[in-house]
Amino acid sequence: MKIIDKLNKRVKPLNYKKTHIYRHILKNDELLDEVDVDSRPSDEIDLFYLEVLVNALLNRKAIIDAFDEFKCEDGGDMYDMLEYGERQRLFNQDIKPLLERLPHFKTNAGDSIYIPCFNPEINTWYRNDIQRVFLNQHKNIIEKQDIFLDTPEDIYGMSIFKTDFSSLLNVYETKEITVYYSVEFTTLYFFDRPNKRFLYALRVEGEKTTEKITGKDLQVLAILCIEENYGDLLDYMVGRTFIEEKLYKKLIKSV
């Protein structure tokens, strides 16, 4: 692991406040305020959790906004005239194109999840029966849901980062470790899969890197790190210009 630490010191990490992800979070921080989640990440790992949560809350807002528009059609006269079931049928028909565009995923049980900070049942209310959300009994259930930074992961596991709610790319995984990659940070992140715990990161791109980082590069680097095959790791990184020859000669002596 000392080799990884020394490799990471060769580059100055990107300030997360300069990333597109952070600007996206900051732009929608009022949604986080509504659920009492701090919009200021302590590090880039928190940033990825916030990204998922913000995108979930944006979906909820989009669905509720669409329902508000539906209720106001024709000055609200049509909505008032319709019975509960007919309202829902028409709204579900109207919202179908929106649901196709919004990020979502399916669970192993086949539930479509649009708001991963809520369980599958509550997702069904928003997706199929939005009027329930505003009935006192169901409204109280939603309001009592505690939402934290890692709630989507707690409910749906680390696979949440494999969905369109996250900008991370799933690079490689074993039974014990999952590896993700951030294009903005040009960094691999290693997680303890069973315990859903961040382990360490590897900064891939160096200051004098000339080669374009490929999917094959990321897989090879991930495997070599997991296997702790640091000799081959250094060989590969210098061959792809991810590290400089001078650093390579220094580090290879300690392998």
Q: How far from chain centre, in Å, is Cα 70?
A: 30
Cα 211 to Cα 133: distance, rounded to the nearest angstrom: 51
Residue 80 has pLDDT above 90, yes or no: no
What gap in Å lies between CA 95 and CA 127, rounded to an integer?
9
Has residue 76 got a pLDDT over 70? no
Per-residue pLDDT tens over the stretch 12-38: 888 999 999 999 999 999 999 999 999
User: What are the residue boundaries of the structural domains of the chain, listed by start?
Assistant: 18-158, 168-252
Give the largest CA-CA distance in the chain.
80
Distance of CA 174 to the CA centre of its chain: 20
- Side chain identity at residue 16, one-letter code: Y
pTM: 0.94
Rounded to 5 degrees, what are φ and ψ at 169? Answer: -110, 130
Is the per-residue pLDDT at 90 higher than 80?
yes
